[in-house]
Amino acid sequence: MKVSKLARKSVSKRTKPLPAGVKSSDGSGLRQRKLQATRERLARAAMALFLKRGFEATTIDDIAAAADVSRRSFFHYFASKEDVVAAWQEGAAAALVAEVAARPADESMLTAAENAIATAVKRIDPGEAAAMSRLKRDNPALRARDQLKYEKLERALAEGLSQRAKNKSDKLKAQLVAMIATGAMRVGGESWMGEGAREQPEVFVKRTFDAIRAILK
């Protein structure tokens, strides 16, 4: 089965290291690598099927079969189909925070957030990103998880930006910029979809942050 670019890029690099309840005394041991490989295979198979068939039309049995594992094995790694999407979202948030940390120290917090988001979205295929947005929009459970994602993302961004803080005032600024940037991602993503997802995501990110700066003047 052909695995989608979005699933391959997002899941292979950003899934959690181990399923819940699994421990390993050697972080680089063969057992851990096998567990991680199986989790990633399940996630790639699930995301590819979700994008191809739709979330509701894809069963856990379908995912297990595509990943060449048993249904029982699926539940060793994920509690539900929704958890697969949540894992992808959490990984994307972690990657975004890493992008913030990699920005030059002389950038303002708002610019660092903008450039980090723009860099992160460049790695996402626009067509598949639009498909994922429709997937979440059309499923109540995924919509609820999506709202929780933004709450977690705001906290993670605030933590990442606070590393650039030099005093207490900067820490407050980090929280405010994280709130603004997260709101920009939420509103910008909805606007991007509403306009037919025609524009490259990174271009839309710049336009969104330009609008923020115009408001703040």
Q: Residues 105-134: pLDDT tens digits? A: 899 999 999 999 999 888 777 777 777 778
Instruction: Name residue, tokens 């990943």.
Output: 67
In this prediction, residues 181-193 reach a mean pLDDT of: 84
Query: What pLDDT score does 130 carry?
Result: 78
In this prediction, residues 156-166 reach a mean pLDDT of: 88
In this prediction, residues 174-180 reach a mean pLDDT of: 94
pLDDT band at 104 (very low <50, low <70, confident <90, very high): very high
How far, in whole angstroms, is CA 99 from its chain's centroid? 13
The kind and range of the H/E element at 205 are: helix 201-216
Give 15-70 pLDDT, tens digit per residue: 444 444 444 445 568 888 888 899 989 988 998 999 888 888 999 999 999 999 99
And the tokens for 106? 């002389």
Query: What pLDDT score does 26 carry?
Result: 52
Query: What pLDDT score does 36 carry?
Result: 87
Query: What pLDDT score does 28 carry?
Result: 60
Instruction: Name residue, tokens 């048993």.
Output: 70
Query: What pLDDT score does 8 carry?
Result: 46
Residue 114, helix vs strand vs coil: helix
Query: What pLDDT score does 27 carry?
Result: 53
Give 68-86 pLDDT, tens digit per residue: 999 999 999 999 998 888 7
Residues 92, 16 contacting (CB under 8 angstroms):
no
In the predicted model, is pLDDT for residue 12 greater than 70? no
Domains and CATH numbers, the chain: 5-79 (1.10.10.60), 82-216 (1.10.357.10)
Cα–Cα–Cα angle for 131, 116, 199, rounded to 5 degrees = 40
In the predicted model, is pLDDT for residue 5 greater than 70? no
